[in-house]
Structure 1
Amino acid sequence: MNILFCLTPKEKVAYIFSDSTIRQALEKMQIYRYSAIPVLNRNGDYVGTLSEGDLLWYIKDHEIDFDKTEHISISEVPRNKNNVSVKIQTNMEDIIDISTKQNFVPVLDDYGAFIGIITRKDIFNYMIDKMNIKTQITREES
Protein backbone atom coordinates (compact mmCIF):
# COMPACT_ATOMS: atom_id res chain seq x y z
CA MET A 1 0.00 0.00 0.00
CA ASN A 2 1.17 3.50 -0.79
CA ILE A 3 1.65 5.31 2.51
CA LEU A 4 0.53 8.59 0.93
CA PHE A 5 -3.05 7.50 1.66
CA CYS A 6 -2.28 7.75 5.40
CA LEU A 7 -0.08 10.83 5.28
CA THR A 8 -1.00 14.06 7.01
CA PRO A 9 0.82 16.53 4.73
CA LYS A 10 3.31 19.07 6.04
CA GLU A 11 0.84 21.91 5.37
CA LYS A 12 -1.52 20.42 7.96
CA VAL A 13 1.12 19.58 10.58
CA ALA A 14 2.29 22.00 13.27
CA TYR A 15 6.07 21.96 13.51
CA ILE A 16 8.80 24.21 14.81
CA PHE A 17 12.14 25.27 13.43
CA SER A 18 15.37 24.28 15.15
CA ASP A 19 16.19 27.93 15.86
CA SER A 20 12.87 28.54 17.67
CA THR A 21 12.84 29.48 21.33
CA ILE A 22 11.54 27.36 24.17
CA ARG A 23 8.65 29.77 24.56
CA GLN A 24 7.69 29.47 20.87
CA ALA A 25 7.76 25.69 21.18
CA LEU A 26 5.63 25.70 24.33
CA GLU A 27 3.08 28.05 22.80
CA LYS A 28 2.76 26.07 19.58
CA MET A 29 2.43 22.79 21.49
CA GLN A 30 -0.25 24.36 23.70
CA ILE A 31 -2.23 25.73 20.75
CA TYR A 32 -2.22 22.42 18.88
CA ARG A 33 -2.39 20.22 22.00
CA TYR A 34 0.72 18.31 20.93
CA SER A 35 2.76 16.39 23.48
CA ALA A 36 5.56 16.12 20.91
CA ILE A 37 6.30 18.22 17.83
CA PRO A 38 8.49 17.73 14.75
CA VAL A 39 11.56 19.96 14.54
CA LEU A 40 12.73 21.10 11.10
CA ASN A 41 15.68 23.16 9.98
CA ARG A 42 15.09 26.18 7.75
CA ASN A 43 15.70 24.00 4.65
CA GLY A 44 12.68 21.87 5.59
CA ASP A 45 14.72 18.85 6.71
CA TYR A 46 13.53 16.81 9.69
CA VAL A 47 15.91 17.38 12.61
CA GLY A 48 14.08 15.52 15.37
CA THR A 49 11.17 15.58 17.74
CA LEU A 50 10.79 17.77 20.81
CA SER A 51 8.53 16.57 23.61
CA GLU A 52 6.87 18.28 26.55
CA GLY A 53 9.08 16.17 28.80
CA ASP A 54 12.24 17.43 27.09
CA LEU A 55 11.16 21.01 27.76
CA LEU A 56 9.97 20.33 31.30
CA TRP A 57 13.19 18.62 32.37
CA TYR A 58 15.34 21.34 30.79
CA ILE A 59 13.39 24.10 32.53
CA LYS A 60 13.52 22.23 35.85
CA ASP A 61 17.20 21.31 35.65
CA HIS A 62 18.22 24.88 34.74
CA GLU A 63 15.70 26.56 37.09
CA ILE A 64 14.39 28.78 34.31
CA ASP A 65 11.46 31.10 34.84
CA PHE A 66 8.99 31.52 32.00
CA ASP A 67 10.25 34.97 30.93
CA LYS A 68 13.69 33.53 30.15
CA THR A 69 12.24 30.87 27.83
CA GLU A 70 11.88 33.42 25.03
CA HIS A 71 15.67 33.84 24.94
CA ILE A 72 16.73 30.18 24.88
CA SER A 73 16.80 28.21 21.63
CA ILE A 74 15.35 24.73 21.58
CA SER A 75 18.65 23.62 20.06
CA GLU A 76 20.01 23.85 23.63
CA VAL A 77 17.39 21.41 24.92
CA PRO A 78 18.57 17.78 24.96
CA ARG A 79 15.99 15.45 23.47
CA ASN A 80 15.24 12.25 25.30
CA LYS A 81 14.52 10.43 22.04
CA ASN A 82 13.85 11.27 18.43
CA ASN A 83 11.03 9.83 16.45
CA VAL A 84 12.37 7.55 13.76
CA SER A 85 11.60 8.97 10.33
CA VAL A 86 10.86 6.94 7.20
CA LYS A 87 11.21 7.45 3.47
CA ILE A 88 8.12 7.68 1.31
CA GLN A 89 8.75 4.16 -0.08
CA THR A 90 8.59 2.48 3.35
CA ASN A 91 6.00 -0.30 3.57
CA MET A 92 3.08 -0.05 5.95
CA GLU A 93 4.14 -3.04 8.06
CA ASP A 94 7.38 -1.27 8.99
CA ILE A 95 5.49 1.93 9.78
CA ILE A 96 3.09 0.00 12.02
CA ASP A 97 6.07 -1.45 13.90
CA ILE A 98 7.67 1.99 14.33
CA SER A 99 4.39 3.52 15.51
CA THR A 100 4.27 1.17 18.49
CA LYS A 101 7.20 3.13 19.92
CA GLN A 102 6.23 6.72 19.06
CA ASN A 103 3.14 8.92 18.62
CA PHE A 104 3.76 9.74 14.99
CA VAL A 105 6.08 8.76 12.17
CA PRO A 106 7.75 11.61 10.25
CA VAL A 107 7.85 10.94 6.48
CA LEU A 108 10.62 12.22 4.22
CA ASP A 109 10.81 12.48 0.44
CA ASP A 110 13.61 11.02 -1.69
CA TYR A 111 15.81 14.03 -0.89
CA GLY A 112 15.30 13.86 2.88
CA ALA A 113 12.86 16.77 3.10
CA PHE A 114 10.00 16.51 5.60
CA ILE A 115 6.67 16.01 3.79
CA GLY A 116 4.35 15.08 6.67
CA ILE A 117 3.53 12.57 9.37
CA ILE A 118 1.59 9.38 9.84
CA THR A 119 -0.17 9.29 13.18
CA ARG A 120 -1.31 6.30 15.18
CA LYS A 121 -4.87 7.31 14.35
CA ASP A 122 -4.02 7.12 10.63
CA ILE A 123 -2.64 3.63 11.18
CA PHE A 124 -5.70 2.51 13.16
CA ASN A 125 -7.95 3.75 10.37
CA TYR A 126 -5.81 1.91 7.80
CA MET A 127 -6.08 -1.31 9.81
CA ILE A 128 -9.84 -0.94 10.29
CA ASP A 129 -10.29 -0.38 6.54
CA LYS A 130 -8.17 -3.44 5.83
CA MET A 131 -10.20 -5.56 8.28
CA ASN A 132 -13.48 -4.32 6.78
CA ILE A 133 -12.33 -5.19 3.26
CA LYS A 134 -11.35 -8.69 4.41
CA THR A 135 -14.69 -9.15 6.17
CA GLN A 136 -16.58 -7.96 3.09
CA ILE A 137 -14.66 -10.36 0.79
CA THR A 138 -15.27 -13.26 3.18
CA ARG A 139 -19.01 -12.50 3.27
CA GLU A 140 -19.15 -12.28 -0.51
CA GLU A 141 -17.40 -15.64 -0.84
CA SER A 142 -19.85 -17.33 1.57
Structure 2
Amino acid sequence: MIDPAINAMMMSHKEHFLIPGEMVASVSEENRLSHAFLVLTKVRYARIPVLDRDSKFKGLISMPMITETMLGLDNLSLAPLDELCVRDVMDTNVRTIENPYDVENVMHILVDDPFIPVVAQTGEFTGIVTRREFMKSFNFVSHNLDEYYDLKLKKPLE
Protein backbone atom coordinates (compact mmCIF):
# COMPACT_ATOMS: atom_id res chain seq x y z
CA MET A 1 0.00 0.00 0.00
CA ILE A 2 1.27 3.46 -0.88
CA ASP A 3 1.92 5.72 2.07
CA PRO A 4 -1.06 8.07 2.55
CA ALA A 5 1.16 11.16 2.42
CA ILE A 6 2.65 10.16 -0.92
CA ASN A 7 -0.77 9.19 -2.25
CA ALA A 8 -2.18 12.59 -1.25
CA MET A 9 0.63 14.45 -2.98
CA MET A 10 0.30 12.36 -6.13
CA MET A 11 -3.47 12.84 -6.23
CA SER A 12 -3.03 16.60 -5.80
CA HIS A 13 -1.47 16.55 -9.28
CA LYS A 14 -3.74 13.95 -10.86
CA GLU A 15 -5.14 16.44 -13.37
CA HIS A 16 -1.68 16.39 -14.95
CA PHE A 17 -1.82 12.60 -15.41
CA LEU A 18 -4.69 12.69 -17.88
CA ILE A 19 -4.21 13.59 -21.51
CA PRO A 20 -7.77 14.31 -22.72
CA GLY A 21 -9.23 12.02 -25.36
CA GLU A 22 -9.61 14.81 -27.92
CA MET A 23 -5.83 15.32 -27.80
CA VAL A 24 -5.00 11.62 -28.31
CA ALA A 25 -4.56 10.15 -31.79
CA SER A 26 -7.13 7.40 -32.32
CA VAL A 27 -8.87 5.47 -35.07
CA SER A 28 -12.34 4.08 -35.54
CA GLU A 29 -12.92 0.35 -35.38
CA GLU A 30 -14.53 0.71 -38.81
CA ASN A 31 -11.48 2.30 -40.46
CA ARG A 32 -9.52 0.27 -42.97
CA LEU A 33 -6.11 -0.92 -41.84
CA SER A 34 -4.56 1.39 -44.43
CA HIS A 35 -5.92 4.37 -42.48
CA ALA A 36 -4.60 3.04 -39.15
CA PHE A 37 -1.26 2.35 -40.83
CA LEU A 38 -1.04 5.99 -41.96
CA VAL A 39 -2.07 7.37 -38.57
CA LEU A 40 0.42 5.22 -36.69
CA THR A 41 3.15 6.19 -39.15
CA LYS A 42 2.40 9.91 -38.83
CA VAL A 43 2.06 10.11 -35.04
CA ARG A 44 4.92 7.66 -34.39
CA TYR A 45 3.20 6.06 -31.40
CA ALA A 46 3.55 2.38 -30.67
CA ARG A 47 -0.19 1.88 -30.10
CA ILE A 48 -3.28 4.05 -30.33
CA PRO A 49 -6.83 3.72 -29.03
CA VAL A 50 -9.62 2.31 -31.16
CA LEU A 51 -13.06 3.87 -30.72
CA ASP A 52 -16.54 3.18 -32.06
CA ARG A 53 -18.90 5.76 -33.60
CA ASP A 54 -20.02 6.86 -30.14
CA SER A 55 -16.46 7.47 -28.87
CA LYS A 56 -16.58 4.32 -26.78
CA PHE A 57 -13.27 2.58 -26.19
CA LYS A 58 -12.92 -0.72 -28.05
CA GLY A 59 -9.22 -1.58 -27.86
CA LEU A 60 -5.76 -0.71 -29.12
CA ILE A 61 -4.04 -1.10 -32.48
CA SER A 62 -0.32 -1.19 -33.18
CA MET A 63 1.89 -1.28 -36.24
CA PRO A 64 2.92 -4.92 -35.61
CA MET A 65 -0.76 -5.94 -35.56
CA ILE A 66 -1.16 -4.36 -38.98
CA THR A 67 2.07 -5.63 -40.54
CA GLU A 68 1.30 -9.17 -39.34
CA THR A 69 -1.68 -9.19 -41.70
CA MET A 70 0.59 -8.25 -44.61
CA LEU A 71 3.05 -11.11 -44.14
CA GLY A 72 2.63 -14.30 -46.13
CA LEU A 73 4.91 -17.33 -46.08
CA ASP A 74 7.17 -15.93 -48.77
CA ASN A 75 5.85 -12.51 -49.70
CA LEU A 76 4.47 -9.23 -48.46
CA SER A 77 0.99 -8.17 -49.55
CA LEU A 78 -0.56 -4.74 -49.20
CA ALA A 79 -4.04 -6.08 -50.06
CA PRO A 80 -5.08 -6.71 -46.42
CA LEU A 81 -4.65 -3.00 -45.71
CA ASP A 82 -7.68 -2.24 -47.88
CA GLU A 83 -9.58 -5.46 -47.19
CA LEU A 84 -9.53 -5.56 -43.39
CA CYS A 85 -10.87 -3.15 -40.80
CA VAL A 86 -9.22 -2.12 -37.57
CA ARG A 87 -11.73 -4.23 -35.60
CA ASP A 88 -10.39 -7.33 -37.37
CA VAL A 89 -6.93 -7.08 -35.81
CA MET A 90 -7.13 -4.77 -32.77
CA ASP A 91 -6.32 -5.90 -29.25
CA THR A 92 -9.45 -5.93 -27.09
CA ASN A 93 -7.76 -7.38 -24.02
CA VAL A 94 -6.62 -4.03 -22.65
CA ARG A 95 -6.37 -2.84 -19.07
CA THR A 96 -8.25 0.42 -18.54
CA ILE A 97 -8.97 2.64 -15.57
CA GLU A 98 -11.77 4.99 -14.56
CA ASN A 99 -11.40 8.52 -13.29
CA PRO A 100 -10.93 8.98 -10.36
CA TYR A 101 -8.21 6.42 -10.33
CA ASP A 102 -6.15 4.67 -7.72
CA VAL A 103 -2.49 5.76 -7.71
CA GLU A 104 -1.22 2.34 -6.72
CA ASN A 105 -3.18 0.60 -9.48
CA VAL A 106 -1.93 3.15 -12.04
CA MET A 107 1.64 2.63 -10.90
CA HIS A 108 1.39 -1.17 -11.24
CA ILE A 109 -0.08 -0.97 -14.74
CA LEU A 110 2.46 1.61 -15.93
CA VAL A 111 5.31 -0.74 -15.06
CA ASP A 112 4.37 -2.78 -18.14
CA ASP A 113 2.46 -0.30 -20.30
CA PRO A 114 3.54 3.15 -21.51
CA PHE A 115 -0.02 4.43 -21.12
CA ILE A 116 -3.40 3.42 -19.75
CA PRO A 117 -6.70 4.24 -21.47
CA VAL A 118 -9.13 6.05 -19.19
CA VAL A 119 -12.69 4.91 -19.82
CA ALA A 120 -15.87 6.20 -18.15
CA GLN A 121 -18.41 3.76 -16.69
CA THR A 122 -20.46 4.37 -19.83
CA GLY A 123 -17.56 3.07 -21.94
CA GLU A 124 -16.69 6.50 -23.33
CA PHE A 125 -12.98 7.08 -23.95
CA THR A 126 -11.92 10.09 -21.88
CA GLY A 127 -8.15 10.03 -22.40
CA ILE A 128 -4.93 8.34 -21.36
CA VAL A 129 -2.63 8.37 -18.36
CA THR A 130 0.96 8.14 -19.56
CA ARG A 131 3.98 6.78 -17.75
CA ARG A 132 5.77 10.04 -18.59
CA GLU A 133 3.17 12.29 -16.94
CA PHE A 134 2.87 9.96 -13.95
CA MET A 135 6.65 10.02 -13.49
CA LYS A 136 6.66 13.82 -13.63
CA SER A 137 4.24 13.85 -10.70
CA PHE A 138 6.30 11.30 -8.82
CA ASN A 139 9.34 13.48 -9.45
CA PHE A 140 7.44 16.38 -7.86
CA VAL A 141 6.69 14.25 -4.80
CA SER A 142 10.25 13.00 -4.42
CA HIS A 143 11.63 16.55 -4.56
CA ASN A 144 9.01 18.24 -2.40
CA LEU A 145 7.87 15.72 0.22
CA ASP A 146 9.80 17.46 2.99
CA GLU A 147 8.12 20.79 2.18
CA TYR A 148 4.73 19.31 3.04
CA TYR A 149 5.61 16.79 5.77
CA ASP A 150 8.00 16.66 8.71
CA LEU A 151 10.21 13.71 7.98
CA LYS A 152 12.42 11.90 10.43
CA LEU A 153 14.09 8.54 10.20
CA LYS A 154 12.33 6.00 12.44
CA LYS A 155 14.77 3.18 11.88
CA PRO A 156 18.00 2.80 9.92
CA LEU A 157 17.67 1.94 6.25
CA GLU A 158 19.14 -1.43 5.43
Larger radius of gyration: 2
Matched, 1:69 2:81: yes
Q: Which residue of 2 aligns with 1:106?
A: 117
Q: Is the CA contact 2:59–2:90 (under 8 Å) kept in the aligned structure 1? A: no
Q: Is the CA contact 1:58–1:78 (under 8 Å) kept in the aligned structure 2? A: no
Q: Aligned partners of 1:30, 1:64: CA distance in 2, in Å? A: 18
Matched, 1:32 2:43: yes
Amino acid at match of 1:86: I
Unaligned residue ranges in structure 1 (runs of 5+)? none
Q: Aligned partners of 1:140, 1:103: CA distance in 2, in Å? A: 32
Amino acid at match of 2:126: I
Q: Number of matched residues?
A: 140
Identity %: 21
Q: Is the CA contact 1:99–1:120 (under 8 Å) kept in the aligned structure 2? A: yes
Alignment of 1:8-47 (within 5 A): 8-47=19-58
Q: Aligned partners of 1:14, 1:29: CA distance in 2, in Å? A: 9
Q: Which residue of 2 aligns with 1:5?
A: 16
Matched, 1:60 2:71: yes
Unaligned residue ranges in structure 2 (runs of 5+)? 1-10, 153-158
Q: CA deviation at 1:71?
A: 3.1
Amino acid at match of 1:10: G
Q: TM-score, normalised by structure 2?
A: 0.77
Amino acid at match of 2:52: N
Q: Is the CA contact 2:26–2:48 (under 8 Å) kept in the aligned structure 1? A: yes
> What is the CA RMSD across the aligned residues, in angstroms?
2.5
Q: Aligned partners of 1:48, 1:61: CA distance in 2, in Å? A: 25
Q: Is the CA contact 2:46–2:63 (under 8 Å) kept in the aligned structure 1? A: yes
